[in-house]
Each structure stands twice: as structure tokens, then as C-alpha cells.
Amino acid sequence: MAFFGLFGRKNKGYTSPWLQLTVVYATAPAGLDPDDAFALRGRIMAAAPIGFEFLNSDSFVAFFPGTTGGLEAGNQLAETLRGIARDKSVAAFGVGVQQGECLAQIGGSGRFVAKPVGTVISQAMNLAIDEAGSTRQ
């Protein structure tokens, strides 16, 4: 009962905790120079995702709505990030874009109450890791 209390109150009705999201996961297994990470962060913020976060010094995830427009924005961000990585000669860089349901809740401010989770994020991460591995020299 307490778990469901996170997603609504009985007198207001419950809302589904599953949201359709577009997930953009990027990684640079060899690491990023702080200036390169700052440049990537700037592009992510300019793309106006619902939310994003750095997971460690060389990986981050961004979330867009799970709509056609969100998927287009995610793919456009992925191409922009790949271009920056090429321009800055990042040794190994990969981006994965995946769309599907994530367990998440958006608060009244329009921001995530907690970090989204789900297999969609893992799928995007695996795509990014595969792409980064294929670019190693």
C-alpha cells in the first residue's frame, strides 16, 4: 500500500508510475577531459530534456518525452554529441537512443521526483557501450 502511495492519494486517484520516455545514454569509456564534458553538458542542456544527469565522469543519461517529437529530439541530440566527440577527438564515444516505458514520476514542477528506472535505460546503455567499443582504435 505504501508503494502505491508514492504515486497518488486515495482521494485523488492513483496514477500509473510507468511513463513513456525517450532515453539518450552516452558514454566515453576512456574518460572525458573536463572541457569536453562541459561542452557535452552544454549541448544536453540546450536540447531541453525533461531531465539529465551524469552517472560518473564519463557517462550520462538524458530523458525526453516518449513521443515522436521526443524521439526526434533524442536522435538529434545523439548526432550532435557524436559530432562534438569527433571534433574533440574523444577516443571512444558511444550514444544509444531507446524509447519505451520507465518507472518514473514527474512532480508538479515538471521535473522527476526520482531518477527513472527500467529496461529501456539498460537497452540504451548497451547500445552506447557497443557503439563506443566499435570506435576504439
pLDDT above 70: residue 135: no
What is the per-residue pLDDT for 28?
93
pLDDT band, very low/low/confident/very high, at 136 (cuts 50, 70, 90): very low
Mean model confidence pLDDT for the chain: 86
Give mean pLDDT, residues 90-95: 91
Choose the weakest-confidence range: 30-34, 58-62, 78-82: 30-34
- How far are the Cα atoms of 33, 75, 120 from residue 125, in angstroms, in the given order? 21, 15, 9
pLDDT band, very low/low/confident/very high, at 1 (cuts 50, 70, 90): very low
What is the per-residue pLDDT for 7?
52
What is the per-residue pLDDT for 58?
85
Nine-digit cell string for 106: 514527474
**Which residue in the block uniquely carries the three cell numbers 577527438?**
89
- How far are the Cα atoms of 40, 93, 119, 134, 137 from residue 44, in angstroms, in the given order? 6, 15, 22, 23, 27
Rounded-to-integer distance, Cα 133 and Cα 28, Å: 9
